[in-house]
């Protein structure tokens, strides 16, 4: 069972590492593997904008670069007290590495106010390796 509140707290911790000198919009993500390891990610902006990386992808790329391939859930939080869904590029990265039917995406307004979706809910019709 996934401890959503703990994962959300870790996402808030990750948000504290955000590098957002241009948008001033800080995002944190906490990615849970199936063995219980948590990888933190934050958004990292760049003056050229296109090299900017989202918090979700930062967490995934850290995990994948260390050999991890089995993911259970991700919690995402931002500066505003609103649910912050992942962008399309992040959803595509999730679809590459996660089971679209079981991977959970936790969107948190606050540590107590959150919604849980499976990846399929947020990314219907995902492009996958089966289509190549």
28 φ, ψ (degrees, to nearest 5): -125, 150
Whole-number Å distance between alpha carbons of 81 and 50: 26
Residues 30, 31, 35, CA angle at the centre, nearest 5°?
A: 130
User: Catalytic residue positions?
Assistant: 56
| H helix intervals, the chain | 4-15, 55-65, 88-97, 119-122
């Amino acid at each position: 069972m996934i401890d959503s509140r703990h994962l959300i707290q870790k996402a808030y911790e990750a948000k504290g590492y955000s590098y957002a000198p241009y948008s001033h919009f800080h995002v944190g993500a906490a990615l849970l593997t199936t063995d219980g390891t948590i990888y933190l990610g934050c958004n990292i902006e760049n003056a050229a904008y296109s090299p900017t990386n989202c918090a979700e992808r930062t967490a995934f790329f850290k995990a994948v670069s260390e050999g991890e391939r089995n993911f259970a859930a991700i919690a995402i939080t931002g500066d505003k007290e609103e649910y912050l869904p992942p962008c399309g590029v992040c959803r595509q990265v999730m679809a590459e590495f996660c089971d679209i039917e079981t991977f959970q995406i936790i969107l948190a307004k606050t540590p107590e106010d959150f919604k849980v979706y499976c990846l399929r809910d947020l990314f219907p019709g995902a492009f996958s390796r089966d289509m190549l």
